[in-house]
Amino acid sequence: MVPFHTEQQAVNSLDYLPPPPTEQSPGFTNDKGAYLNGYALKGSPRWHQATGDANLSPANIAKIFSPILGVTISESTTPATWYMLRNMLIVTRYAPAAAKKYYMRTRPFVVYGHHSCESSSQEAGMRKDGSYPSGHTTFGTAFALMLAEAKPDKARELAKRGWEFGQSRVVCGAHWQSDVDAGRYVGAVEFAHLQSISQFRLVLEQVKQELNR
């Protein structure tokens, strides 16, 4: 698959995002409070939702958003939407990459010596990856915005689920609240950037046709 754009062609997140909150700032106090509130949900239905949201496989994302759309997203039934999903999973990794690599912020579950909602093997990888901004949230925001444009009658429900998808990263303990807040903005910037790419616009028209048949 050829991505809609390369990492070098992404809007550089380091150019527009402010630094994450410092440890003595009110912002970090808010981050800690949000983390502890999320950790208190461990074992609850919301924790289990966050665990499901952590899985970025195309099949799992399709399972999350299909009921809202009233359309089953799959490679066979909605090939354009499936292609869009897989391509956006790639380019939304590029969008936050510069800031992630620069700040290399330590994730909350590491700071607190807890476990997140993810597996031990996934946690090992996250320890080596910067927390700010949230890549999951970048994807969830951009993908929900794309679906809302394709199927505007479901925009309210899609926006709500996209918001929850990002907030799951705080519940999961994988990200600070400020990571998620920044990820939402990066996702919006990425979605705006994609609108300037002819191949994205072409596929989006195909997605509209599939989801509104």
CA–CA distances in Å: residue 138 to residues 27, 96, 144, 159, 211: 20, 7, 10, 13, 23
Fold annotation for 25-211: Vanadium-containing Chloroperoxidase; domain 1 (1.20.144)
**Which member of 161, 169, 184, 193 is catalytic?**
169
**Which member of 5, 105, 136, 184 is catalytic?**
136
Is 179 among the residues known to form the active site? yes
User: pLDDT tens, position by position, for the chain (213 residues)?
Assistant: 999 999 999 999 999 999 999 999 999 999 999 999 999 999 999 999 999 999 999 999 999 999 999 999 999 999 999 999 999 999 999 999 999 999 999 999 999 999 999 888 889 999 999 999 999 999 999 999 999 999 999 999 999 999 999 999 999 999 999 999 999 999 999 999 999 999 999 999 999 999 998
State which amino acid sits at residue 169. Answer: R
Joined tokens for residue 159: 């926006």
Domain ranges of the chain: 25-211
Q: Give the pLDDT of residue 121.
A: 87
Do 136 and 183 touch, CB atoms closer than 8 A? yes
Q: Give the pLDDT of residue 5.
A: 98
167: helix, coil or strand? helix
Q: Could you give the CA distance from residue 88 to residue 138 in angstroms, rounded to a whole number? A: 10
Is 86 among the residues known to form the active site? no
Burial profile 178-204: b = 16 or more Cβ within 10 angstroms, e = fewer: bbbbbbbbbbebbbebbeebeebeebb
State which amino acid sits at residue 58. Answer: P
Is 115 among the residues known to form the active site? no
Q: Give the pLDDT of residue 119.
A: 87
